[in-house]
Amino acid sequence: MKSKTSLFNVTIFKRNIKSVWPFWGLLSFVAVIPSLFLIMEWIRHGIDTTEFNPFEVKYMFYNAAIYLAPLVAFATAWIAAFFVWMYLYTAKSVGAFHSIPVTRAGLFVTNYLSGIVIMLIPYVIGGALFILTLIIIGVGFHMSVFVLIGAVIIDSIFFFSFATVIAMMTGNMFALPLLYLAFNFLALGIENLFNFVISNLLYGLSFSLSAKTDFLSPLVCLMRNMRTVREYSYNRIGELPETMTRDLIGVSLENGHIMLIYGAVGVIFAIIAFLMYRGKKSESAGDVVSFKPLKPIIHWIYTITGTVILGMLLYYIFSEAEIRGMNVIQGSLCFIAALAISYYTGLMLLEKTVRVFNKKTFVGFAVGAVLSVICCFCMKYDVLGIEKRIPDASKVQEIQLYMGNSYTIDGSNKELVQKTMDFHKNIIENKDLLNARFFDSNDDEEYVYDYVTIEYVLKNAEVLRREYRIVVPRNNKTEFDKAYVDFVSDKDLIKTLLHEDDEYYLSGGYFTLYSYNSELSAKYGLNTDSWDLSDWQTKTIYDAVKKDLEAGNWKPGRNNYSNESNNVIGYIAVFFEKRIERSEDTYYYNTDDLDVNLTPDMTYTLEAIRDLLGLSEEQMEEFVDILIKANEPVDEYQYYYDK
């Protein structure tokens, strides 16, 4: 007689739900806490809902859909998958399950649906109680809750389907959470790992977290790209435009289609998981990777990431923590050693044996070693032209330049854009000179150190950023040194710094004298070492700095930006603002600032400070001499011992 089979087994479904009640029970308890807290606050203190804006509720539900739903689904999906598919990880249990009169299709559908239900039970209990609480306290019901319900269901389907694919991929209970975590962030992790290596070994590149592949890391993509946008109305009160009220009049969910795309992908993952389950062999229980075609892929992913991480660590150790670029021989040896460790340990884990050293595996290792050496040569000689990349001037919308001060160069200023690009090219061509000076110079009196950041904002919204350490002798020994001083002293560049030809206006400032000793200030009747500037005082200092600039007494970007140098006796900051009208009733402010390291050569500025402090010429001269002496880099406070 033919056994009766079914696509859905109620007994297995109920067993799955009941067997993990502590898991969904604990989550349900956590889910009801916000409701309990809210209802107790209402009982104790009362909540005034007469002027409650319903858009605030909408904003709350939308934010929960963006941040709470995917985060909870991501964290709980692998646990639910582990509980419903754990029978696949031992030969005895998988044999027992597959012997019952239920088809594999029936087992898959039953276990898959039970996993989804396990994830949704806490939402149903906690969510229903929270909505009921809002109604009880008088906030009421808002239709935006259905957006949150949709997000919960979609995120649960996607992440559980993804976890189910991983569960089918492996036959090892310990490998499931590791592979689930790894594949969720694999693309983003590899992207930033290679960014880290390139930024350390190529000149001018700096490491920063990037997310060009965030669509392959679902949790990051959902929480990063979906946004809640609030719309306000502004109402003026009185005659002054600054006096106005702001009321929330609308809330919208931006990029909600991303969630729908992941929902569709989740359905596809469920189908893939079903096909994998049908072809999964019972004897694969216990294997780290159950499907043979996937083993080389997993192995090479493990090998590449392990080689890069361990190789950089070895290279950093043997370079004595001073990475000056790529040393081909040293780099090749470090990365080949890292490759050997990663390649063979990966094989041992996959094959569950230490007997992996043979001719066949050596061929794979040899190929990897050759590729490692090739990559080192490519880094050394910048085969891809990454170091030398400078965008076309016609594609530049704006250049953000930092050299002790921030300069914003508009792309329409073709002449200054070209000067900046020539300066950038000059830095690249003198890479070896600047690196040698930075790492080998110990004479702080002869050299000044600067950091230059060049950021090109292109018209297609792409951003190209480079950072350089500039070491320049005070006596300008080479053509590069002269070109550097000419550029930082360029009149057109300085106009952007001083905001002479734009709509920015002075909004305040302050200055500090590096006396290191309150007694020195007290001697001259001063009660502080720092002074905030009024509007007219800011204008006075600003004009004096401009005079010193024109006289050559101050060169932006050439001073040591720490007070360890004996030619820096103080610091001046001047602030600018520019009002941007967004509409008739709305506006905002752009801000910028001018940073000046005060030196004894800045005679006009010192004269302005003297007048502001009410000191005589003799007192100011004596004070400056004391400041110079106080800021000399002497041995162990020798200056104070001499006093």
Contacts of residue 598, defined as CB under 8 A and 6 or more positions apart, other chains included, come to 511, 513, 568, 569, 570, 571, 572, 605, 606, 609
- Residue 249's region, left for phi above 0, alpha for psi from -120 to 50, else beta, is alpha
Q: Torsions phi, psi of 205, nearest 5?
A: -90, 140
241-245, 415-419, 466-470, 559-563: lowest mean pLDDT where? 559-563
pLDDT at 473: 77
Distance CA 52, CA 567 (A): 60
The per-residue pLDDT for range 35-63, each reduced to its tens digit, is 898 888 888 877 766 556 788 889 999 99
Look at residue 445 and tell me whether its pLDDT is greater than 60.
no
Whose structure tokens read 């361990």?
Answer: 310
Q: Which of 486, 600, 495, 620 is nearest to 548 (CA)?
A: 600
pTM metric for this prediction: 0.77
Q: Is the dihedral of CA 165, 166, 167, 169 positive or negative?
A: positive
Q: How far apart are CA 126 and CA 38, in angstroms?
A: 13
Lowest model confidence (mean pLDDT) among 187-191, 210-214, 386-390, 568-572: 210-214
- What pLDDT is attached to residue 51? 59
Distance separating alpha carbons of residues 174 and 35, to the nearest angstrom: 36
Question: For the ranges 38-42, 332-336, 482-486, 516-520, which has the lowest average pLDDT?
Answer: 516-520
Predicted pLDDT at 561: 36
**What residue segments make up the domains of the chain, in order of their start?**
10-197+207-234+244-283, 293-380, 392-498, 504-643
Q: What is the mean pLDDT of residues 88-105?
A: 84
Q: How confident is the model at residue 638 (pLDDT cuts 50, 70, 90)?
A: very low
Mean pLDDT, the chain, integer: 85
pLDDT confidence tier of residue 517, bands split at 50, 70 and 90: low
b/e burial code for range 563-577 (CB count within 10 A of at least 16 → b): bebbbbbbbbbbbbb
Burial class (CB in 10 A: 0-12, 13-18, 19+), 244: middle
Q: Which of 22-26, 301-305, 437-441 has the lowest mean pLDDT?
A: 437-441
Q: What's the mean pLDDT in 582-596?
A: 74
| Separation CA 533–CA 608 (nearest Å) | 12
CB 334 within 8 A of CB 314: yes
375/383 Cα distance (integer angstroms): 9
Average pLDDT of the segment spanning 429-456:
78
The pLDDT of residue 564 is above 50: no
